[in-house]
């Protein structure tokens, strides 16, 4: 009896284990199925259903050339028969390329808004998955939904996530990306010329895209969306200040001149930050002081606690920044020296000189050399005033900046005669040429500093006293020392 009881107990235990295992297996299968389905799923909803308001070209400031290049595409979406009559094939795919924050997404929305059609927005990363076939499945899912809409604009941001140049390496990661890219190309080829569907892709690096994407019949129109010029910046500033309580002391024209190399997104951020500052201070209007504080914070970081700076360090900083300012005024006379300060900032810099270059398309060899010498001027001032063995670490960023410019000067622009017009970099000899240009221009900078040492010391002393001086005062000091 005891043996029988033991056998029954054992059988019950085994049955219980099998039952629990079965339940666990069923739960695992369901979870795996649900996980796979969730991975496969991609929310494909037009902008209108997301309550995303489309815009038109009038709300896109700047980039007039880019807008002109897509006007015919808007017309094609509205009136495809007009072009089919002549056998014209409007590009099915368009690539917007340029620096971040220049308005590529905004212009894509404007194309859909002008054409009055649905707008679908996705990113390349939506199709990058660890499971082979998921990206391709999502591509097909997207275009199935688009076909149901009829005429539409499909916007794929960060297209380089799936469209980078393919290598010869046959790895599983490449297999997945290749399948996704091939699915995209196949779906694009499946549209009829009369469908009125246009695919717009955006990238910051058009040079790394696969040729299969950029060839004729695919994304064969490439539209550069670059940084705005001074007039375009003025229009962007007008748009972002619209509806805000702005003081009369805010000069939009002057702000447009100061913000060279700012993208549209940076301008929006600057103005928004100024509005936040005004709100914090409970000001009636957004005043020029708020705009200036926002501007300098974006350039150099927020001011740090001055009490932590020793007197000796302050003097070194003053001489360093005075060197930058005076030498820049000499070697780059077209630049506006807007502000010189020894107030440390939260990004680690002891002070800075805000030098605004002219807004122009081309820079001469003399201009480029001036930029390099301007970068070296702080270190050169330290060497001349304190001695070669007493230079500091304060020139770290300046040296990196100068090295980057020198590299372009030699290899990209072909401005160094000893290297020639090769247009590429050779590892073997590259460092030798970099050192030659660096040595020559640094020594020139040191000589200019020696010839203007008294002016630099005068500017440094005023910086110690006032902490910040502006363009007009710098010119007064330099003119009085002549």
Catalytic residues: 321
Q: What angle do CA 17, 19, 20 make, to 5 degrees?
A: 65
C-alpha pair distances (Å), 130 with each of 40, 72, 461: 11, 39, 61
Helix (H, G, I), strand (E, B) or coil at 431: helix
Contact predicate 118/48, CB 8 Å: yes
Which of these, 179, 225, 236, lies nearest to 201 by C-alpha position? 225
Classify residue 412 by its DSSP letter.
I
Sheet holding 118-123: strands in order across?
A: 118-123, 152-157, 197-203, 93-97, 221-224
Q: Which two tokens stand for residue 18?
A: 């099998």
- The residue count of the chain comes to 482
Question: What residue has token string 């926002």?
Answer: 294
Q: At what angle do helices 230-241 and 264-280 cross, to 10 degrees?
A: 40
Q: Give the three-state DSSP class for 347.
A: coil
Specify the DSSP element, H or E, that contains 422.
none
Q: How many Å apart are CA 110 and CA 66, to the nearest integer? A: 12
d(CA 476, CA 479): 5
What phi and psi, each to the nearest 5 degrees, are found at residue 362? Answer: -120, 150
From start to end of 288-444, where are the E strands? 336-341, 352-356
> What's the helix, strand, coil split of the chain in %, to 5?
60, 10, 30
CA distances from 10 to 2, 5, 18, 19, 20 (A): 12, 9, 12, 14, 15
Q: Which residues touch 412 (CB under 8 Å, ≥6 apart)? A: 423
Instruction: Output the CA torsion 99→102→106→110 (10° steps).
Output: -100
Determine phi and psi for 354, rounding to 5 degrees.
Answer: -95, 105
């Amino acid at each position: 009896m005891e043996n029988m009881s033991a056998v029954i107990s054992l059988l019950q235990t085994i049955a219980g284990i099998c039952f629990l295992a079965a339940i666990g297996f069923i739960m695992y299968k369901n979870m795996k199925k649900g996980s796979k389905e969730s991975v496969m799923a991609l929310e494909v909803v037009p902008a209108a259903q997301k309550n995303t308001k489309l815009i038109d070209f009038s709300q896109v400031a700047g980039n007039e050339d880019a807008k002109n290049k897509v006007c015919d595409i808007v017309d094609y979406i509205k009136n495809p028969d007009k072009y089919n009559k002549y056998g014209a094939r409007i590009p099915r795919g368009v690539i917007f390329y340029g620096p971040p924050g220049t308005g590529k997404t905004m212009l894509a929305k404007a194309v859909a808004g002008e054409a009055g059609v649905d707008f679908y927005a996705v990113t390349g990363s939506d199709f990058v998955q660890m499971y082979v076939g998921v990206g391709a499945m999502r591509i097909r899912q997207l275009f199935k939904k688009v076909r149901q809409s009829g005429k539409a604009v499909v916007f794929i941001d960060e297209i380089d996530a799936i469209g980078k140049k393919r290598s010869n390496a046959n790895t599983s990661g490449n297999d997945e990306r290749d399948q996704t890219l091939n699915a995209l190309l196949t779906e694009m080829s499946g549209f009829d010329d009369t469908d009125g569907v246009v695919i717009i892709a955006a990238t910051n690096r058009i040079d790394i895209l696969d040729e299969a994407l950029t060839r004729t019949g695919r994304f064969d129109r490439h539209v550069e969306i670059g940084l705005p010029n001074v007039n375009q910046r003025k229009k962007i500033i007008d748009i972002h200040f619209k509806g805000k309580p702005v003081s009369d002391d805010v000069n939009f024209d002057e702000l447009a001149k100061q913000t060279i190399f700012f993208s549209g997104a940076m301008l929006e951020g600057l103005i928004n930050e100024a509005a936040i500052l005004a709100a914090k201070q409970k000001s009636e209007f957004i005043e020029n002081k708020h705009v200036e504080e926002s501007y300098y914070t974006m350039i150099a970081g927020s001011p740090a606690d001055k009490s932590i700076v020793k007197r000796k360090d302050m003097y070194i900083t003053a001489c360093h920044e005075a060197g930058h300012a005076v030498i820049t005024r000499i070697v780059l006379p077209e630049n506006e020296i807007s502000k010189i300060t020894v107030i440390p900032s939260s990004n680690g810099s002891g002070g800075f000189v805000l030098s605004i270059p002219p807004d122009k398309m081309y820079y001469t060899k003399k201009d480029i050399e001036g930029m390099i010498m301007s970068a070296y001027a702080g270190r050169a001032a330290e060497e001349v005033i304190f001695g070669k063995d007493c230079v500091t670490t304060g020139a770290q960023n300046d040296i990196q900046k100068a090295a980057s410019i020198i590299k372009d000067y030699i290899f990209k622009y072909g401005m160094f005669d000893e290297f020639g017009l090769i247009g590429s970099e050779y590892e073997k000899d590259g460092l030798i040429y970099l050192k030659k240009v660096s040595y020559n221009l640094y020594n020139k900078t040191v000589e200019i500093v020696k010839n203007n040492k008294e002016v630099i010391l005068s500017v440094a002393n005023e910086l110690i006293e006032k902490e910040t001086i502006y363009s007009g005062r710098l010119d007064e000091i330099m003119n009085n020392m002549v």
